[in-house]
Amino acid sequence: MFSIRNFNRSKPILFLLILFPSMIWAYQFIAGNLGVNPIERLMDEFGLMALRLIILTLMISTIANIRQLKSIVVFRRMIGLFAFYYVCLHFSTYIFLDHFFDIEFIIKDIIKRPFITFGFISFLCLIPLAFTSTNKMVKRLSYKLWKKIHYLIYPAAILSSFHFYVLVRADKTEPMIYMGIIVFLLFERIVKKFIFHRPLAR
């Protein structure tokens, strides 16, 4: 049941499932029923989705350590790329819709405001991951180097959850939950690698 073949077969379904929300939000935005402050809403939805998908990729690696479930790792690349897709949508909403190409303002905003700096660095971290996501790239770079590059997912996850945490004004429960999950997943890896000296899931 949990074979690579079955998982590969269900990929198109997962693809549509993750793509679907962005289509819905884009449609609602154009149709004008995304609430009273549609630009803010669009930015929030894209950003939150991106963060959830980043966390999901980390979870998949952890779950793949369970022998019976190790094939689940076949979903990881697609989910990771979708995380990048939603980050791009989130970032373009900020640039094009929220600030309407006011580049001078945006650069100042990125430098001056820690929470935007965190979000931006997280975005930068994800770029090399997306560009080295193909099998060809893994071969070209050697698996060792490729793996090193992909450790960037950790700063990306931490910074993006912090980006969300700082943004919230009073009730920090939701960002705390995401940060908790990330810390747990990181801790699990550290224990495994440095205490049990087991290689991490590939």
Partner 1 sequence: MKILSSEITPYKTYLNRRKFIKGSLASALLATVSTSAFANHDNNSSIYNKYLNESDKLNSYEEITTYNNFYEFGTHKKHPHLNSGNFKPRPWTIKIDGLVKKPQTYDLEKILSNVTIEDRVYRLRCVEAWSMVIPWQGFQLSELIKMAEPLSSAKYVQFVTVFRPEEMPGQQKRTIIWPYREGLRMDEAMNPLTILATGLYGHEIPNQNGAPIRLVVPWKYGFKSIKSIVEIRFLDKQPETSWETLAPWEYGFYANVNPNVDHPRWSQSTERRIGEFKRRNTLMFNGYEEEVAHLYKDLDLTKFY
Interaction site with partner 1 (CB under 8 A): 29-32, 35-40, 97-100, 105, 108-109, 112-115, 166-167, 169-171
Alpha-carbon gap, residue 116 to 109, rounded angstroms: 7
CB of 120 to partner 1, least distance (A): 14
Q: Which is nearer to partner 1, 39 or 127 (CB)?
A: 39
CB of 26 to partner 1, least distance (A): 11
187 residue type, one letter: F
Q: Which is nearer to partner 1, 115 or 146 (CB)?
A: 115
Q: Which is nearer to partner 1, 16 or 24 (CB)?
A: 24
Measured CA to CA in angstroms, residue 26 lies from 15, 44, 48, 89, 95 at distances of 17, 13, 15, 10, 16
Take residue 49 and report the two structure tokens written for it: 């989705």
CB of 96 to partner 1, least distance (A): 11
CB of 85 to partner 1, least distance (A): 22
The radius of gyration of the chain's CA atoms, rounded to the nearest angstrom, is 18
Contacts of residue 114, defined as CB under 8 A and 6 or more positions apart, other chains included, come to: 166
Q: Which is nearer to partner 1, 69 or 168 (CB)?
A: 168
CB 93 within 8 A of CB 23: no
